[in-house]
Amino acid sequence: MSHQSQLKLLCLLFGLFTPIAGFAADIDGSTLSLAWGIPFVGILLSIALCPLLIPTIWHHHFGKITALWSVLFLIPFAMTFGMDNSVGLVAHAMFAEYIPFIILLFSLFTVSGGILVKGNLHGSPALNTGLLAIGALLASLMGTTGAAMLLIRPLIRANDNRKHRVHVIIFFIFLVANIGGGLTPLGDPPLFIGFLKGVDFFWTAQHMLMPVLICTLVLLTLFYLVDSYYYKREDEIEPQDPTPDSKLRLYGKVNFILLFGVVTSVLLSGFWKPGIEFTVLGVHIELQNITRDLLLLVIAGLSMMLTAKQIRSANQFNWEPILEVGKLFAGIFITIGPVLAILRAGHAGHMAGLVSLVSDPQGAPINAMYFWLSGALSGFLDNAPTYLVFFNLAAGDAATLMGPMQQTLLAISMGSVFMGALTYIGNAPNFMVKSIATQSGIKMPSFFGYMKWSFGILIPLFLVLTVIFFLG
């Protein structure tokens, strides 16, 4: 790792612990106009359009562009609502949401990056389908980030002698970076938030099993047909394989123990409730969450110490993917605050029309709308806070949602997890996978190009799920 990369990583980690403030949970969303969402939309449009219009500038300065949108939001906000509210806004975004989010991703990225699957297999349709199936299974056991980082490079190497590889990466994002993580709270951040709010661990495994199974089988079948179509073309295979087939060997096995440590640390924060909390800039931080985050950083440090540099070098490991996610999502978590506050205001906010869509005139939940609205917003906002908004909008009580409103909780869970695959920004591993694929020479689609694939394939599948689970 170069000194420049090390410096960038240290700056990112230093930024995580700098008390720069976050979103004040008590800001009244009913007083906010939709104009406060412009910087957030600006970041999304920058992610979508800048790689197409100004690719070189974006590649070198995407962090500065994201920071500019954040500043364009914070300065008017401070002038309008005062410095205290501005500090509170950023503090809540950082300490309550962004820091736990990025630390978990950082630890999974670091540990899984120390596991090397050396050797190469022949990227046939059968092999690729098998790898996607294994990845989908692992996603619920080690998180979508961990599973994606473990398997994306072996999958790329297996197919580096093929001309058509984009579809392989896209289906990988669908299955491994999103849908496969739907079986346990460890798999995807929205489900983990539900677990922390009181949703039983095994409730998720039981009720999400059939939706995940249906999606996985349908997508694996479709992928095999698409991959077979390309594979049978005469001009598909390059004349020379950059990485010829060879026996697989596994290195960095100590990181599997560390992955278990990551899982244990996350579970600890859900089961251990000492009742001790600290207040930082108005944000209440519980001891179990501080302990979890410190343990995750220690585990990441142990991975760096115990993993031979040759293993990470052979794995083409570098910090660029996590740095990209860290910079972009820092801006997203700050500027998303007003959007979520308006949603929290319910019928009193400027998104009242949207909120009213999830209940009938008698106030009963419309589960199909919970599925589609939580899903649609998860595709373009971050799926973890979106889950929380609809969780609170539905009832806010885990016992009620697991009982008489279990179909509503299922709708929110399915929407938040599954539709995170609709865009590159719906779930953090999506961007990591795209970044690694691009670094490997695969010309990944633009923001809207990816959406052509996701909407064309996933929307019909989600319509079927709606009929099966919410319109019966």
65 has pLDDT over 90: yes
pLDDT per residue over 121-140, tens digit each? Answer: 677 888 899 999 999 999 98
Give yes or no for a contact between 231 and 125, defined as CB atoms under 8 angstroms apart: yes
Quote the pLDDT of residue 9: 46
pLDDT above 70 covers a percentage of the chain that reads: 90
Structural domain spans, the chain: 35-81+324-335
Instruction: Find the mean pLDDT for residues 183-187.
Output: 86
**What is the CB neighbour count within 10 angstroms for residue 59?**
12
Report residue 462: phi and psi, to 5°.
-70, -30
Quote the pLDDT of residue 13: 41
Quote the pLDDT of residue 332: 86
Terminal CA-CA length for the chain: 55
pLDDT per residue over 323-378, tens digit each? Answer: 888 898 899 889 988 887 887 787 788 888 877 888 887 778 899 999 999 999 88
32 has pLDDT over 70: yes
**11/213: higher pLDDT:** 213
DSSP-assigned letters across all residues of 257-297? HHHHHHHHHHHHHHH-----EEEETTEEEEHHHHHHHHHHH
Q: Give the list of residues 6+ apart from residue 60 with CB closer than 8 angstroms, or none.
A: none
**Taking Cα atoms as reference points, which of 231, 226, 233, 242 lies closest to residue 160?**
242
CA distances from 200 to 17, 178, 197, 270 (A): 31, 21, 9, 10
**76/236: higher pLDDT:** 76
**Taking Cα atoms as reference points, which of 379, 439, 415, 409 lies closest to residue 173?**
379
Structure tokens at 52: 């197409």
The model's pTM: 0.77
User: 137: part of which helix (H) or strand (E)?
Assistant: helix 125-158
